A and B are shown apart, each in its own frame.
Chain A
Amino acid sequence: MISQDALIKYIKEAMPDAEVTVKDRTGTMDHYQVQIISEAFEGKNLLDRQRFVYQALNDPMKDGRIHALEIKSQTPTEATSA
């Protein structure tokens, strides 16, 4: 289990400009959906965006605090035009 604040903190460490929305998908604090808007995704395809987020959350992923993660990654321009 990991708290939403701790999750956001990890993400912000890798992407200080990120706008992060977190949803606990099962109420067990280890199946999260995260929506991240950040410049860091600019020019990255979906696979590399996901890799980048997984790297930011490497520790809680490795030690099992996060069991499953659904990632929605957008750049600011994509977010505004979506």
Chain B
Amino acid sequence: MANAADDEIKKEVAEHKILIYGKGTKSMPMCGFTQETIVFFNKYGYDFEVVDVLRNAEKREALSQMTNWPTLPKVFIDGQFYGDTDILDEMERKGEVEPLLKKAFGDA
């Protein structure tokens, strides 16, 4: 049963090419891992959104169910789920992040 949280998430994921669900906001991250993810994307210079779900248990549960991934932050690029910086660092090492972002922002 798709609930309000699911719909909200789907809308947000569609609206932002790069979307980080984390603890705190872009200007005030409340967790080291969320901050790490912000630093990661700042390097590329593309626009990205941070959605604070620290105090939104229902949305956090919906996100965990939807992605089968228990932790925060959760990163979506171009509507696809990519886990967190553990995954993105590895992808960056293999040079997979730059082309992915270029494709997402349509300047490939």
Interface residues of A (CB under 8 A from B): 46-47, 50-51, 54-55, 58, 61-62, 68-71
Report which of B33, B69, B87 forms a contact with A54, defined as CB distance below 8 A. B69
What 6 pairs between A and B have smallest CB-CB spacing? Answer: A61-B70, A47-B83, A54-B70, A46-B90, A46-B87, A47-B87
Interface residues of B (CB under 8 A from A): 33, 68-71, 81-83, 86-87, 90-91
Residues on A with beta carbons closer than 8 Å to the beta carbon of B33: 68
Docked-complex contact A51 and B69, CB < 8 angstroms: yes
Report which of A50, A58, A61 forms a contact with B87, defined as CB distance below 8 A. A50
23 contacts between A and B (CB under 8 A): A46-B83, A46-B86, A46-B87, A46-B90, A46-B91, A47-B81, A47-B83, A47-B87, A50-B69, A50-B83, A50-B86, A50-B87, A51-B68, A54-B69, A54-B70, A54-B71, A55-B68, A58-B70, A61-B70, A68-B33, A69-B71, A70-B86, A71-B86
Docked-complex contact A62 and B86, CB < 8 angstroms: no
Residues on B with beta carbons closer than 8 Å to the beta carbon of A58: 70
Min CB gap A43→B, angstroms: 17
Q: How far is the CA of A70 from the CA of B84 in the complex (A)?
A: 11
Q: How far is the CA of A70 from the CA of B33 in the complex (A)?
A: 11
Residues on A with beta carbons closer than 8 Å to the beta carbon of B86: 46, 50, 70-71
Min CB gap B102→A, angstroms: 21
Q: How far is the CA of A71 from the CA of B87 in the complex (A)?
A: 10
Given contacts A47-B82, A68-B33, contact A62 B70 (CB under 8 A): yes
